[in-house]
Structure 1
Amino acid sequence: MKALLDFIPLIAFFIAARYNGILAAAGALLVATIVVYAIHFVRQKGKFDKQQWVVLLLTIVFCGGTLLLRDDIYLRWKSPIINGIFALTLLVSAAINKPLMQLAMKDVFSLTMSGWKKLTIAWAVFFAIMAVLHYITAFTMSDEAWINFKTYGWIPLMLVFVVAQFLLLKKHLNPALTDKSAK
């Protein structure tokens, strides 16, 4: 349910951008994000994880800046910066021996510390690549190309990355998880 809700701001952005332009898209993205995060806040009993705070605050700052100053440059920076923050955070967590992917996926996979670090670094590299791709589309391509990539161009890349990881890691599925599904 959470993942489906998280697509609502993206859909709002795409529809508004297609029919009413970038400034309308910034407004739609801002309003939809606030509504979706209010729902998350209630469903999560008044709590957000750090990733949710980063996305919410940066969306407010970048969409707000875009609307207040009537300049889409701020909105164009949002995705490269968010992906860059995720990449840097993951790299730091691996460097200090507290790989964040272990916290996120420990119930799914059973890996050694080295495995968790490699997985965390793989995700960091993925987010770094996404930051670069978002930057390239936002600042070197047409508005239409940028909107298309921002709306649905990154989704196939994410799916390929996740499926490839699962195929590589399926032999490391947590035994407790496979025992539950067998029953």
Structure 2
Amino acid sequence: MTEPRKINPWLKAALDLGPLVLFFVVFMRFRDQTVTLAGREYSGFIFATLVFVPVLVICTLALWRLTGRLSPMQIATLVLVVVFGGLSIWLNDPRFFKMKPTIIYLIFAALLGASLILRRNWLELVMSEALPMRAEGWRILTLRMTLLFLGLAIANEAVWRLMSETAWVNFKTFGLPAIMVVFFVANSRLFERYALPRDSE
């Protein structure tokens, strides 16, 4: 498998996080307003989605062009954003875009759960370059990530159905990334315990 080309980490972070930050900024600016485009009225949330979708497409294509490869998670996210974001814009209904994280997390949970049942280290195929570990470590991490994605799916449903639109945007922009960071920090001992020795490079 061809290794991805290295790019400036600040540029990669901007391409990864830029669309989400832009969505947050546009939503906060227009959340209490109605935006009229081509004779149709859109809420601030739908307008932010309208900005977010093409920007994410451009940034993802730029990452592919610069690195020569996209991860399965990036591809799945792009497809679901285009589909569910497009439905929200077309039908002028924010519910589709709010359900998108739930669908993504359920898909990931199902794939990881299937890999445990089939005794395949699919997670290792995706993350082994960053986290070289023994097979037992990957099985434990796969189980924990399966439960994590199920929990995130439930949390996303609870927030968008029971709380305000602003609360959901804050949860998506800050809460979900923070949970992922805390999860990996909390598993640092697992990585150390089952780590494989790295090459001299």
Q: TM-score if structure 1 supplies the norm length?
A: 0.88
**Structure 1: where are the runs of 5+ without partners?**
none
Structure 1 counterpart of 2:18, from 3, 8, 18 = 8
Spell out, residue by residue over 1:134-160, the C-alpha distance to the aligned partner (whole angstroms, 9 max, x if none): 111111111111111011111221111
Q: Give the Cα–Cα distance (whole angstroms) in 2 for the partners of residues 76 and 39 of structure 1.
A: 25
Q: CA deviation at 1:75?
A: 0.7
Between 1:57-66 and 1:4-13, the stretch displaced more is 4-13
Q: What amino acid does structure 2 have at the position aligned with 1:117?
A: R
Q: Give the Cα–Cα distance (whole angstroms) in 2 for the partners of residues 146 and 60 of structure 1.
A: 19
Q: TM-score if structure 2 supplies the norm length?
A: 0.81
Q: Give the Cα–Cα distance (whole angstroms) in 1 for the partners of residues 64 and 105 of structure 2.
A: 22
Match of 1:148 in 2: 170
Structure 2 counterpart of 1:136, from 158, 167, 189 = 158
Please give the residue correspondences for 1:92-131 in structure 2 after superposition, counting only pairs within 5 Å.
92-107=114-129, 108-112=131-135, 114-131=136-153
Match of 2:40 in 1: none
Please give the residue correspondences for 1:19-168 in structure 2 after superposition, counting only pairs within 5 Å.
19-20=29-30, 21-45=44-68, 47-107=69-129, 108-112=131-135, 114-168=136-190
Contact 2:80/2:104, CA 8 A, preserved across alignment: yes
Aligned length: 177
Q: Give the Cα–Cα distance (whole angstroms) in 2 for the partners of residues 25 and 167 of structure 1.
A: 40
Q: Give the Cα–Cα distance (whole angstroms) in 2 for the partners of residues 171 and 50 of structure 1.
A: 27
Q: Give the Cα–Cα distance (whole angstroms) in 1 for the partners of residues 120 and 134 of structure 2.
A: 13
Q: In structure 2, the residue corresponding to 1:84 is in which secondary structure?
A: helix
Q: Give the Cα–Cα distance (whole angstroms) in 1 for the partners of residues 172 and 128 of structure 2.
A: 30
Q: Give the Cα–Cα distance (whole angstroms) in 2 for the partners of residues 109 and 59 of structure 1.
A: 31
Q: What amino acid does structure 2 have at the position aligned with 1:28?
A: V
Contact 1:76/1:139, CA 8 A, preserved across alignment: no
- Structure 1 runs (4+) deviating above 3 angstroms are 1-4
Spell out, residue by residue over 1:87-131, the C-alpha distance to the aligned partner (whole angstroms, 9 max, x if none): 11111112111122221333433313x332221111111111111
In structure 2, the CA distance between the partners of 1:3 and 1:126, relative to structure 1 (3 Å rule), is: farther
Q: In structure 1, the residue corresponding to 2:93 is in which secondary structure?
A: coil
